Amino acid sequence: MLRAVARCCGHWPPGAAAADGMLWQTELRPHAAGEFSMAAAQANLVMEDQAQVLASPSATLVGVYDGHGGPDASRFLRSALFPHVQRFAKEQGGVTAEAIRRAFGAAEEDFLHEVRQAWPKRPRMAAVGSCCLLGAIAGDTLYVANLGDSRAVLGRRVVGGGVAVAERLSTDHNVASEEVRMEVSSHNPDDAQIVVHTRGAWRIKGIIQVSRSIGDVYLKKPEYSLDPLFRQIGPVIALKRPALSAEPQIHVRKLKPNDQFIIFASDGLWEHLSDDAAVQIVFKNPRTGIANRLVRAALKEATKKREVSVHDLRTIERGVRRHFHDDISVVVVYLDRHRGRRQTRVVDSSSNCTSAPVDVYSSSSSAYRDSG
């Protein structure tokens, strides 16, 4: 088991950058309930998204981590979250909502420890964070846990018809939503500046749009933003209590015969495709390369908004490309055999893991080239 997790947390399978060097995908792969497809697109100078799938005969884990302020937090989650889920699931005799909640808490504490260790030489670590989306399929039960605005969307076939409908399985913790703004404000009734509209968007303390994350220690621990070392990063931030939370929202759902697939993706996909548009693409197209098809659909929409061609987009360097779209990570998980499987819910030692490259641009893998 530990070897399998180590493979998952450190390396990636055969795959390749696309013709423009910014796209990557892997072939269709098996998991306990069917098959899955994975793809990614890089926009930042350094890839801040990470994605991984850990599969065994009895359970499947899916992780999508959308970093901000740098890649450190998302890369940390890539190496740390699944082992924590494994450990707490083993303690509880299987995957449970409580095991997942404890895994998120342990990951947050471990990252805080890394920030403390790095603080004297790398105070920037206090300003790094990541959204965190976790899916777990154990037996006939689906768990979706989320911090931030990555999203899981289920595609469900309508009974008696060849039509699929979208069902969102996660909540976007982003203050673009009035409901989320009200939630943040209710936790900070004595801070009139907890959420302000600046630079064209609502932001917590005028800085960040997501209200839940791993990391972002400077917005959770006042002593960091008040420390003179932090002046290298930014101004003092007046906090009376943590402005962000690391408490995941967990959705538990029994899988049903008409549940066809789940799309797990960072907000780089969802800012260009609606839930329904993404579900229809998956439902109406062949499985092979389906995650890559979603990435390409999002990029096509991004080019329309900026009035450039897809061909022109391919010529734009990483970093500059962030002005056109964000990093994108997509995992499509098909649900074919969620009925009649053995019901043990512990992720066992026959697991294997698939991870996207830590950095698409610098990946030297070339077993599969997507030049379409």
Q: 345 pLDDT band (50/70/90 cuts)?
A: very low
Task: Report how far apart, in Å, the C-alpha atoms of 357 and of each of 282, 290, 337, 365 are.
Answer: 23, 18, 28, 9
Which residues, including other chains, have CB under 8 Å from residue 263's CB and lie 6 or more apart?
152, 153, 155, 278, 279, 282, 294, 330, 331, 332
Q: 338 pLDDT band (50/70/90 cuts)?
A: low
d(CA 112, CA 90): 24
pLDDT the model gives residue 131: 98
Residues pairing with 332 in the sheet: 37, 263
Angle (nearest 5°) at CA 57 between 248 and 28:
85
pLDDT at 190 over 80: yes
Tokens standing for 257? Answer: 């015969």
> What confidence tens digit (pLDDT) does each residue in 324-334 have?
999 999 999 99
Please choose, from the candidates 161, 42, 142, 149, the residue with its C-alpha nearest in 3D space to the C-alpha of residue 100: 142
Task: Report how far apart, in Å, the C-alpha atoms of 77 and of each of 2, 134, 215, 262 are.
Answer: 16, 11, 10, 21
pLDDT the model gives residue 365: 42
pLDDT the model gives residue 233: 83
Residue scoring higher pLDDT (180 or 231): 180
Q: Summarize the confidence of residues 81-105 as an average pLDDT.
A: 96
pLDDT at 159 over 90: no
- Alpha helices in the chain, H assignment, sequence order: 2-10, 72-92, 97-118, 178-187, 222-226, 267-270, 275-284, 290-306, 310-314
Give the residue extent of every domain in the chain.
2-174+210-355
Task: Report how far apart, in Å, the C-alpha atoms of 106 and of each of 11, 166, 274, 345, 356 are.
Answer: 23, 32, 33, 21, 23
pLDDT the model gives residue 339: 41
pLDDT the model gives residue 196: 96
pLDDT the model gives residue 351: 61
Q: 150 pLDDT band (50/70/90 cuts)?
A: very high
Tokens standing for 369? Answer: 């080239």
Residues pairing with 131 in the sheet: 66
pLDDT at 11 over 70: no
> What confidence tens digit (pLDDT) does each residue in 193-222 have?
999 999 999 999 999 999 999 999 999 998
- On average, the pLDDT of the chain sits at 89
Q: 8 pLDDT band (50/70/90 cuts)?
A: low
pLDDT the model gives residue 9: 53
Q: Summarize the confidence of residues 334-356 as an average pLDDT.
A: 62
Tokens standing for 226? Answer: 């008040």
Strands in the chain per DSSP E: 16-17, 23-31, 34-41, 49-55, 59-68, 129-138, 141-147, 151-157, 164-168, 195-198, 201-204, 214-215, 249-254, 259-265, 328-334, 352-355
DSSP-derived 3-state class of residue 228: helix
pLDDT at 17 over 70: no
CATH class of 2-174+210-355: alpha beta
- The model's pTM is 0.91
In one-letter notation, the amino acid at residue 51 is: A
Q: What percent of the chain has pLDDT over 90?
A: 76
> What confidence tens digit (pLDDT) does each residue in 266-322 have?
999 999 999 999 999 999 999 999 999 999 999 999 999 999 999 899 999 999 999
